[in-house]
Every structure is written in C-alpha cells, then in structure tokens.
A and B are shown apart, each in its own frame.
Chain A
Amino acid sequence: MLTSQQLLLTSSSYLNGLKTIFINTNTSAMSEDSYAASIDLLRRLDPKNVSRNLTNLCRLVPDLADELLSSVDQPLQYRKCEESGDNFLICDYNRDGDSYRSPKSNNYYPPLSGEDAELAPKPLNDLRELEVFANDSFDIYRDLYYEGGISSVYMWNPNDYEDETDINDITNGFAAAVLFKKESDVSSSIWDSIHVINAEKISPETFIYTLTTTIIMSMEDSDAEQGISLSLSGSLTRQSEKKAAAKSYIDHITNMGTLVEDMESKLRNMIQEVYFSKTRDVVGDLRTINKVSNLYNEKSMQSEVIKGIQGR
C-alpha cells in the first residue's frame, strides 16, 4: 500500500494537471506519457461516467492502475461505523486494503485481523486528538452549511520519518483530508467536497496551509412527458494557501476551517456560474430563439442609441 505522503504527492500531481510527480523512481518515460494522456482523457470524457471510465482505463493500462485510482477524484461513498452507528466517508486516505478507518471509533471496517491490523495506519495521541477535534468542528460546519449530509476528516503525517520520530507528533506539520457529501432531499442532485490540506511549519508557531479542493456535483432533470432528458455533472478543482500562526490544535482547526470555508464559498459561486450560466449561454449561442435578423437589428439599434448618447 502507498504511504500517506505518496498519496498526497499523487493527489497534488493530478491537480497540477499534466505536470506529474512520479512516486516510483523506475517509472519509465513511456508510462509517464500514458499517465498524462490518461489524465487528459478523463478530463475530456463525460464526468458522469468517471468511475466506469477509470475502471476501463485501468483495464487498458494495468501498470498505471494504482496511480490512477489514487489520483483521480471520484464521487464519495460511505460505510457504516459499527461501533458508533454513524456513516463515514471513504477515500484513499482512510483505506487499508479493502477496509476503511472510521473517524469516530478509529476502527477499520470490515475489521482487520492479525498482522494487517497491526500494520494499518491509525493516528494516536496528538494527531488523533487533532483529528477528533477536526471531525467535531467540521461536523458543526456541515450542519450549518449543508443542513444534512455526511462529513469526515482524516489526518496523517506526511513527513518522512526514517528515525524513531513519532508519526503522531504534529509539531512540524501534518496533512488532512476534509470530506463532505450531500444528497439533495428534493431531487437526485449530489454534491461531494474533497479538500486535501498540507500544513507545514515554516517558523516557530507559523504554518503554511496548502489546500487543494475538488467539488463534484451532478444533477438530472428528465421529463418523460416532454420527452426531454437532461444531465448536468462534473467537477471543478482549485488550489489555495494561507500562512498563519498556530500555537494549539484549536488554532490549527481555525486556520483550516476558514481556509476551507472561503474556498467552498468561492467554488460554490464558480459552480453556479459554470453550470447554470456558461452552459446555457452556449445553448443560446448555438440556436437563437429570436430570428438572427432581428438580433442584428436590435444590435444596430443599440449601437445607434449608444452613438446618440455619446454624441450629446
């Protein structure tokens, strides 16, 4: 299994577009080209079919399957935490084999046994304390903005520890995935937010937080009576970063919280613009409801009016 650091690297490599950072030093130039082409292909094909297209792509190039599966964002799925009874979101950051770690109980489901259970990453001490507080805080945020849905936060240490340094130590930094899923209760619309944050210490008590956010949204509105079918789906990805002081884990959550909140507000506006304005403008450009000749007349009339105003 890939380590968390490798996952973070592949994730940011996807987001940087085709400028890929390879985790395997022996990856040949050939597979680097195929990887870039695979990412480009998934950027073009219908985002509604991303999971199916990704599976097919892995069949075509099995050598790239691990990299592709860990770097391409797909709609979030959830599992049930048997101990707390709550649902939690799953992603590559809380996965070990076929099991996923619940942020509530810190247990893997389905349960791991023997050596697998011992080797599976599990945050403890400071890192787990931060994770628990993050889950509580972002759950309140979820309630305020989403009024429903599920949220999960996972944390890990992205730094390379060859010595005996404790991986649960957060003094030099940490990484987090903050996830939200909301299924509309009035329609079949779905919203998934995937935030990956890297917090790095740059001076005593000052951290730089790097955020990469992908929001996946899909909507359908089909109407048998009118014979119309419509699907509007896709994802947008943006990055942001912030430098801020942090003396306690509460400061960390405040810094991460405001960063995520600002990014979600910005992306929500962007989604509204792209999904509902830009696409509709293109439709109106392809076929005009008014006669083209009328539109020209209107335009020339408008320019006459403007000339008239300017001439005054």
Chain B
Amino acid sequence: MSEIDSIIAEFLNDAPAGETRDVINDLKLILDQTPDITKSIKRSLESSLVDQDKFEIISLPDAKKLSIISKYNKKGTKFYDSRLKKLFNVQFLDNSALDVEDEEDDEESTALFKSLATSLEKYVSEHYPLNNSQKLLAFDLFQLSATEIAIALINTKRNASNFINGTWVSAYKYNSETGVLKGNISIDVHYFEDGNVRLKTSKSVESSVAAEASEIITLIKKEEESYELALNKKFLKLNEVDFKSLRRPLPVTRAKVNWGKAIGNYRLGKDVNQA
C-alpha cells in the first residue's frame, strides 16, 4: 500500500458515522491532481468492510428493511441479507446495492438460528426506537458455520440541522459448541456546530450462555443495559469531577475578576493567607 493509500484508509477509518460520503468528497477535492484517487478510496472502503470489523447500512432497491454490509454476511463475491433472503453486490463508492437476487433459506440454518431471529426482532423493537425520519436501523443474523451465528445491529441518528450525528453498533458471535457469546458494542457521536466534538466509546462482551434463543437475547439485553447505565455514571463523574478540576465557573471569591491596576492585590491577599 502506498503512503497516500494508507493515509486515505486512516482518514476514512476516522470518519464519523454517517459522514463517510462527506469525507470522500473532501478527499476528492484535496487530491484532485492524484491519479486513481477514486480507486484508492474504493479499495479502502471495501477493505474496511470485508477485512475489518466495520459495519455499514445499505438500502436494497424496493426493500422495506435496511440491510447490513460486513465481513460476516459476505457470501462469495456478494453480501447476504437473511431477513430479506436476498443476495446483493455493493458499489462501495456511493454505497449502493445492485444485482439483487433471491436466495432461499440457507440449508445450514439451525433451529437455534430460526428462534434467535424471532427473539432478536422482538428485542430490537423494544429498545431501538425508530419513530422518526432521522433514524436508520438495520439488524440481521448470519449462520457462519454449523456451530457459529453472528448477530449485528446498527442504529444511526443523523440530525444535520442540530449539527449532531450518532451511531450505535452491536456485533456478537455465538458458538453453540463452547456456549460462549463474544462481541463488542460501540458508540460514536459527533457534534460539529462551530467546532468538532466526538464521543467514542466501546464495551467488549464475553460470557457463557446456554444455546437457547431467549437466554442469549436476555444476556445481550443485560450487557447492553449495563453498558448504558455505566455510561450514564461515567458522564456524571466526568462532569462533576474531571470537568470541575479543569476550570472553575467562578473564582473562590464568587465574584468576577477585578481587572486593572489593583489586580495585584489578589496576589497580596494570597501571600497574607499563606503566611
């Protein structure tokens, strides 16, 4: 990989959720003299989704539900949506789907897979609200092998008029042989009104659970809820302890500074107190 390619990959990887197209437009303007720039961007996008743990939401033509692109649902050269039972190709540059075809139920699908699909749908509808136009939600599960199932969920909020975007991604793998659920939850929030503020947080999950759909979903719910509650506590502590230790709202005197010639008196007062 050339130096330019690796910088492009790093920039795209650093892009806030939902702003990948904006970053691509910037890169095209910045590097408009560089040959094959589009190819390099395309390669980076594809590799982050196919080789790494990145997830993207995509809309299939005429579909009522949104689909996921990730390494977990790559099937040959295409991607698979198990809820729509469709195979599709992806144009990474503009994130569009093409060559969509029907694909009947995977023969390998286990009984656990089928009951998990039902439980997951119910759980998502209870905790991932979708009652406004700023939201995009996609979730799916994939039979990786006879004993392994992947579960992925992405919920994004785009609110450009209030200069804020956010994404929640949950990704798990359950192995019915070892009975271990392993995964990662990550949250990325970007605020950008006359500034650039970013919250990036994640939690890793690893726990044993019986090969029962309801048990697995209960565990996921417990992990996600405890993460959210822990985050609330962390925010409170950062605000009340860390933030306060940086700059006071007012001096100890509770009055604004008395500027001017007499400002040196503060120092005299301090010296007297210390003496």
Contacts from A to B (Cβ < 8 Å): 17, 30, 33-34, 36-38, 40-49, 53, 56-57, 59-61, 136-137, 140-141, 143-147, 182, 184-187, 189-191, 217, 219, 221, 223, 226-238, 250, 253-254, 257-258, 261, 264-265, 268, 271-272, 274-276, 278-280, 282-289, 291-293, 295
| Chain B residues with CB below 8 A from A56, complex form | 7, 10-11
CB distance from A249 to the nearest CB of B (A): 10
Give every chain B residue within 8 A of A293 (Cβ-Cβ): 126
Which residues of B sit under 8 angstroms from A141, Cβ to Cβ?
257
Q: How many residues of B contact A (CB 8 A)?
A: 85
B227-262 to A contact mask, C-beta < 8 Å, 1/0 = 111111011011101110111111111001101110
CB distance from B20 to the nearest CB of A (A): 10
Residues of B within 8 A of A (CB): 3-4, 7, 10-11, 14-16, 19, 22-23, 25-27, 29-33, 125-129, 131, 155-157, 164, 166-168, 187, 189-192, 194-206, 224-225, 227-232, 234-235, 237-239, 241-243, 245-253, 256-257, 259-261, 263-264, 266-267, 270
Task: Assess the A283–B247 pair: CB atoms within 8 A.
Answer: no
Given contacts A44-B16, A234-B191, A285-B157, contact A295 B129 (CB under 8 A): yes
Q: Which of A33, A238, A278 has the most CB of B within 10 A?
A: A278
User: Contact between A289 and B225 (Cβ–Cβ < 8 Å)?
Assistant: yes
B235 and A285: CB pair below 8 A?
no
| Least CB distance, A136 to chain B, in whole angstroms | 7
Q: In the bound complex, how far is the Cα of B235 from the Cα of A280, in angstroms?
A: 8
- Complex-state Cα separation, A236 to B191, whole angstroms: 10
Known A43-B192, A60-B30: A287·B203 in contact at CB below 8 Å:
no
- Contact for A235 among B126, B196, B253, B257, CB less than 8 A: B196
B196: chain A residues within 8 A (beta carbon) = 42-44, 47, 234-235
- Give the docked Cα–Cα distance between A221 and B191 (Å): 19
Q: Is the CB of A234 within 8 A of B197?
A: yes
Report the tally of A-B residue pairs with Cβ distances under 8 A.
253
- Whether A145 and B251, one on each chain, are in contact in the complex, defined by CB atoms closer than 8 angstroms, is yes
User: Is the Cβ of A37 less than 8 Å from the Cβ of B26?
Assistant: yes
What's the minimum C-beta distance from B127 to chain A, rounded to whole angstroms? 6
- Residue on B with the closest CB to A52? B10
- A46 to nearest B CB, angstroms? 5
Residues of A within 8 A of B199 (CB): 230-232, 275, 279, 283
In the assembled complex, which residues on chain B have CB atoms less than 8 Å from the CB atom of A291? Answer: 126-127
From A40, A46, A144, A272, B239 is in contact (CB under 8 Å) with A272
Closest to B27 in A: A41
Q: In whole angstroms, what is the CA distance A123 to B259 when docked?
A: 23
Contact of A286 among B155, B230, B252 (CB under 8 A): B155
On chain B, the residues within 8 Å of A189 by CB distance are 238, 242-243, 245-246
A43 CA to B32 CA in the complex, in Å? 20
Tell me whether A40 and B198 are in contact (CB under 8 A). Answer: no
Give the distance to chain A from B35, nearest Cβ to Cβ, in Å: 14
Closest residue on chain B to residue A42 by CB atoms = B196
A286 touching B166 by the CB < 8 A rule? yes
Report how far A226 CA is from B195 CA in the complex, Å. 31
Interchain CB contact under 8 A, B245 and A184 = yes
9 A-B pairs in the complex with CB atoms less than 8 angstroms apart: A36-B29, A41-B26, A61-B30, A217-B246, A235-B195, A286-B167, A286-B187, A289-B127, A292-B125
> Across the interface, which residues of A come within 8 angstroms of B202, CB to CB?
228-229
**B residues less than 8 Å from A288 (CB atoms):** 127-129
- Known A-B contacts A37-B30, A189-B245, A228-B227; A253 and B203 likewise in contact (beta carbons under 8 Å): no
Which residues of A have CB within 8 Å of B251?
144-145
Asked if A289 and B14 sit within 8 Å, CB to CB, the answer is no
Identify which of A141, A230, A272 gathers the most chain B CB atoms within 10 Å of its CB: A230
Q: How far is the CB of A127 from chain B (nearest CB, A)?
A: 19
**A53-B11, A230-B231, A279-B199 known; A287+B264 contact, CB < 8 A:** no
Known: A33-B29, A182-B246, A276-B239. A233 touches B195 (CB 8 A): no
Cβ-defined contact, B19 with A38, below 8 A: no
Contact of A53 among B14, B22, B25 (CB under 8 A): B14
